[in-house]
């Protein structure tokens, strides 16, 4: 009986977590502003569909996880724009716009971060230049 309960509990746990998918990070970028504050953006995929409070649907194939200078993590979803890439939070309070090497982040309509791409040496795949003799 004890063994059957253990098996039943395990089966229920597997079924409950089978539908849960994690955020699959494809690449990471860091942006820096004039005050040397940085945000880290992780670009990923999550092939689910969610709806915001106002009824609009977000196709989560374009999803980012952003770590703000305060340490807070925010999930944003890609939306349609004519140029660049725009991501918005589910409750539409955060907007993140990226074009080329520049980015802008606003919260409740107020610009809170404006920066440029920051290349890390550890992420740089190019070989170091040989020293001249």
Q: What is the mean pLDDT of residues 18-43?
A: 83
Q: Give every CB contact of residue 79 below 8 A, 6+ residues apart in sequence.
A: 58, 86, 87, 88
pLDDT of residue 20: 45
Q: What number of H helices and E strands is found in the chain?
A: 1, 10
Mean per-residue pLDDT over the chain, rounded: 77
DSSP state for residue 2 in the 8-state scheme:
H
| Most confident stretch, 14-18, 51-55, 91-95, 120-124 | 91-95
Do 73 and 55 meet the contact criterion of CB atoms below 8 Å apart?
A: no
Do 4 and 10 meet the contact criterion of CB atoms below 8 Å apart?
A: no
pLDDT surpassing 70 at residue 43:
yes
List of domains in the chain: 22-117 (2.40.128)
Would you say the pTM of this structure is higher than 0.75? no
* CA 15 to each of CA 3, 18, 19, 102: distance values in angstroms, whole numbers, following the listed order: 18, 5, 8, 43
């Amino acid at each position: 009986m004890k063994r059957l309960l253990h098996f039943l509990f395990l089966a229920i746990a597997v079924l409950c977590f089978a539908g849960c998918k994690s955020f699959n990070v494809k690449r990471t970028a860091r942006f820096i502003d004039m005050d040397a504050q940085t945000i880290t953006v992780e670009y990923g995929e999550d092939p689910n569909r969610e709806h915001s409070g106002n009824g609009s649907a977000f196709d989560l194939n374009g999803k980012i996880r952003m770590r703000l200078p305060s340490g807070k993590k925010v999930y944003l979803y890609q939306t349609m724009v004519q140029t660049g890439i725009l991501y918005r939070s589910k409750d539409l309070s955060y907007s993140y716009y990226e074009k080329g090497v520049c980015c802008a982040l606003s919260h409740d309509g107020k610009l809170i971060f404006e920066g440029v791409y920051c290349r890390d040496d550890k992420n740089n795949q190019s070989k170091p230049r040989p020293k001249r003799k």
